Amino acid sequence: MDRLSIIRTVRDYLARGDIEGLRRWLDDVEPQLTNAINQARARRERALTRATKPIEDRGRVKCFDEADLYWAFSKQTLRRLGIE
């Protein structure tokens, strides 16, 4: 289940004014949604860890700071990582 299908389903229920149906549907899909949210958070955390890992710089360990991240990555990537 992707975000777009979730949004469409919620809009459909709200357009019909079927709040009870929406509640039942949410109860049915809650475990799937929770799992998807947790997986997305874990992916973001892994990506952020990889992005900020120290690197070898001619034999010296160089650590990225926040300014390096803003220089090295596009705004879209930073937004996806949850930094900006």
User: Domain map of the chain by residue range?
Assistant: 3-81
Residue 65 has pLDDT above 80, yes or no: no
Mean pLDDT of the chain: 76
Residue 21: per-residue pLDDT: 93
Local confidence band at 5 (pLDDT 50, 70, 90 cut-offs): confident
Residue 44: per-residue pLDDT: 81
Owner of token pair 């109860």: 27
Residue 47 has pLDDT above 80, yes or no: no
Span 25-37, pLDDT tens digits: 989 998 888 888 8
3-state secondary structure 35-72: HHHHHHHHHHHHHHHHHHCCEEECCEEECCCHHHHHHH
- Give the type of residue at 5: S
C-beta of residue 81 within 8 angstroms of C-beta of residue 52: no
